[in-house]
Amino acid sequence: MKINLINPNTSLSMTGLIAASARAVAAPGTEIRAVSPAGGAPSIECHFEEAIAALGVVEEVRNGEAQGCNAHIIACFGDPGLDAAREVARGPVIGIAEAAMHAAMMLGTGFSVITTLSRTIVIAEHLARRYGAGHHCRRIRAVELAVLDLEQPHCHAFERILEEGRAALSADRSNALVLGCAGMSDLAARLSDALGVPVIDGVTVAVGFAETFVRCGLSTAMHGDYARPPAKALQGWAEAFSVRD
């Protein structure tokens, strides 16, 4: 089985981090193809950057299909380009926010999300409602760290997320936590041990979902609004994304 793990930003160090997290939980025989788009933003922290990232995701889904990938994971908590990717992929496509929130609803009665910057809170709120998690998501909290700062030791990311996690368990009536950034994936196990509750990283959970869907022979419904995009020639800068029969 070959899983296409797409980091929608262009940070190669983050791609390496999430690849290590995914490979640590992948079943024997599962190959993780970890990639980033050739162009885009070094981190994704607003609606504008998500829109740019969506095209990169579609590009990497197509590349993964050509490489024989059986499933695709979008490793950014905004799940950029998820619907478009599902229209062009043969195998299942899983967003890490969707995977993490569904897992949290199975493991606890209520969860809090801990994300990076407060300006991204509304994006996570929209996703929680879309994924049917509105009644289960008690609160979305930000540690006010930029995505790329998560890799900097002097920013003390683990300690700041741990502190916010303790506040969530105390004040939000949550009994599970969701990490709201793929760049936090390497911290999940330590946080869970320290807090004594499930701390869910969408990257690793998405690997499990992807493997299960492939083994069960399940893929995205290619019907209705998820049918393949109509064949047409796109113009100008979008020409490379044209769909052909």
**Range 234-237, long-range pairs (CB < 8 A, 24+ positions):** none
Distance CA 52, CA 81 (A): 9
Q: Looking at the structure, do residues 189 and 101 belong to the same domain, yes or no?
A: yes
CA angle 225-226-227, nearest 5°?
A: 95
**For residue 9, with 0-12 CB atoms within 10 Å meaning exposed, 13-18 middle and 19 or more buried, which class applies?**
buried
Distance CA 129, CA 135 (A): 8
Q: Looking at the structure, do residues 208 and 153 belong to the same domain, yes or no?
A: no
Q: Looking at the structure, do residues 175 and 54 belong to the same domain, yes or no?
A: no
Q: Looking at the structure, do residues 64 and 101 belong to the same domain, yes or no?
A: no
Check residue 34 and give its pLDDT.
Answer: 98
Check residue 21 and give its pLDDT.
Answer: 98
Percent of the chain with pLDDT over 90: 94
pLDDT in tens, 198-244: 999 999 999 999 999 999 999 999 999 999 999 999 899 889 889 87
**What is the rounded average pLDDT of the residues 79-101?**
97
Distance of CA 118 to the CA centre of its chain: 18
- Look at residues 201, 216, 232 and tell me which one is the last residue of a structural domain: 201
CATH of the domain at 132: 3.40.50.12500
**What is the rounded average pLDDT of the residues 56-71?**
97
Check residue 244 and give its pLDDT.
Answer: 79
Q: Looking at the structure, do residues 213 and 223 belong to the same domain, yes or no?
A: yes
**What is the rounded average pLDDT of the residues 6-34?**
97
Q: Looking at the structure, do residues 110 and 84 belong to the same domain, yes or no?
A: no
Q: Looking at the structure, do residues 70 and 55 belong to the same domain, yes or no?
A: yes
Q: Looking at the structure, do residues 106 and 196 belong to the same domain, yes or no?
A: yes
Check residue 157 and give its pLDDT.
Answer: 95
Q: At what angle do helices 96-107 and 202-215 cross, to 10 degrees?
A: 90
Check residue 105 and give its pLDDT.
Answer: 98
Q: At what angle do helices 202-215 and 12-25 cross, to 10 degrees?
A: 50
Check residue 243 and give its pLDDT.
Answer: 87
Q: Looking at the structure, do residues 196 and 101 belong to the same domain, yes or no?
A: yes
Check residue 238 and give its pLDDT.
Answer: 87
CA dihedral 164, 166, 169, 171 (to 10 degrees): -70
- Give me the number of domains the chain comprises: 2
**What is the rounded average pLDDT of the residues 107-124?**
97
Q: Looking at the structure, do residues 233 and 116 belong to the same domain, yes or no?
A: no
How long a stretch of residues is the chain? 245
Check residue 14 and give its pLDDT.
Answer: 96
Residues 6+ apart with CB under 8 A from 159: none
Instruction: Label residue 162 by pLDDT band (50, 70, 90).
Output: very high
Q: Looking at the structure, do residues 34 and 89 belong to the same domain, yes or no?
A: yes
Q: Looking at the structure, do residues 80 and 116 belong to the same domain, yes or no?
A: no
Is pLDDT of 165 > 80?
Answer: yes
- Maximal C-alpha separation, the chain: 55
Is pLDDT of 245 > 80?
Answer: no
Range of the domain at 76: 2-95+204-241
Distance CA 50, CA 37 (A): 13
